[in-house]
């Protein structure tokens, strides 16, 4: 899994502001999920025991949009591109988290870009692959 990379210098703050306006108007509720481990490695489980899932609500927009070649993305076939507003998020998205999007799909974060035109993150452009769970 790739870590998120900071956007290239010169990313337009106008683009970022427009994306935030679009998310505010047309985005849907989503949630980042983090499952911390508690305790030491358990040979019976093959991993450390999982603690309770931590949930971080967000506003997002997801779709199978075309990725252009850019750092932080693998351009995997069928990848979901998820835009997430950074304001009030409470956690920085990373590949150790997964995200629940509007249609009930829970996706793994593979990488992405932090949009920070003035040095402060205002938008995350995530590449998500691998469905962890589908709605029943």
- Every domain of the chain and the residues it spans: 5-35+50-133
Nearest partner of 35 among 123, 87, 127, 100, judged by Cα: 100
Sign of CA dihedral 98, 101, 107, 109: negative
Terminal CA-CA length for the chain: 28
Lowest mean pLDDT across 5-9, 113-117, 120-124, 126-130: 5-9
CA dihedral 26, 123, 96, 101 (to 10 degrees): 0
Given a cut of 70, whether residue 74 has pLDDT beyond it is: no
SS3 category, 88:
coil
d(CA 104, CA 134): 6
Pairing label, strands 98-100, 80-85: unpaired
Instruction: State if pTM tops 0.85.
Output: no
Q: Does the domain spanning 5-35+50-133 belong to CATH 2.40.10?
A: yes
pLDDT, residue 103, reads: 81
SS3 category, 42:
strand
pLDDT, residue 47, reads: 84
Per residue in 8-46, pLDDT tens? 555 667 777 787 888 888 888 899 998 888 888 888 888
pLDDT, residue 133, reads: 61
**Cβ–Cβ < 8 Å for 84, 58:** yes
φ, ψ of residue 99 to 5 degrees: the values are: -130, 135
Nearest partner of 109 among 53, 37, 24, 34, judged by Cα: 34
Confidence label for 79 from pLDDT (cuts 50, 70 and 90): confident
């Amino acid at each position: 899994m790739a870590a998120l990379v900071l956007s290239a210098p010169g990313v337009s703050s106008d683009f970022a502001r427009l994306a935030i306006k679009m998310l505010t108007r047309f985005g849907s509720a989503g949630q980042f999920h983090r499952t911390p481990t508690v305790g030491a490695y358990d040979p019976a489980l093959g991993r450390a025991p999982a603690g309770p899932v931590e949930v971080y609500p967000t506003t997002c927009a997801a779709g199978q949009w075309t990725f252009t070649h850019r750092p932080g993305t693998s351009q995997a076939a069928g990848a979901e591109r998820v835009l997430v507003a950074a304001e009030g998020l409470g956690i920085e998205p990373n590949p150790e988290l997964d995200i629940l999007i509007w249609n009930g799909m829970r996706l793994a974060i593979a990488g992405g870009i932090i949009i920070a035109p003035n040095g402060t993150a205002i938008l995350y452009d995530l590449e998500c692959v691998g469905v962890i769970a589908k709605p029943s």
